[in-house]
A = this chain, B = another copy of it.
Amino acid sequence: MTDWLDAVQWDERGLVPVIAQERVSHDVLMFAWMNREALARTVELGEAVYWSRSRQRLWRKGEESGHVQKVHELRLDCDHDVLLLNVEQLGQPAGEATIACHTGRHSCFFELYRDGAWVSVEPVLKDPERIYK
Contacts and interface: CB of A to CB of B under 8 A. Distances in A.
B109 A31 contact: no
A27 B75 CA distance: 13
A84 interface: yes
A26 to B, nearest CB: 4
Interface residues of A, number: 36
Taken together, the copies of this chain in the complex come to: 2
Contacts of A80: 111
A116 to B, nearest CB: 5
Contact of A19 (B1, B19, B118): B19
A4 interface: yes
A17 interface: yes
Given A28-B19, A102-B78, A1 B116 contact: yes
Interface of A: 1, 3-4, 7, 17, 19, 21, 26-28, 30-31, 43, 73-80, 82, 84, 101-103, 105, 108-113, 116-118
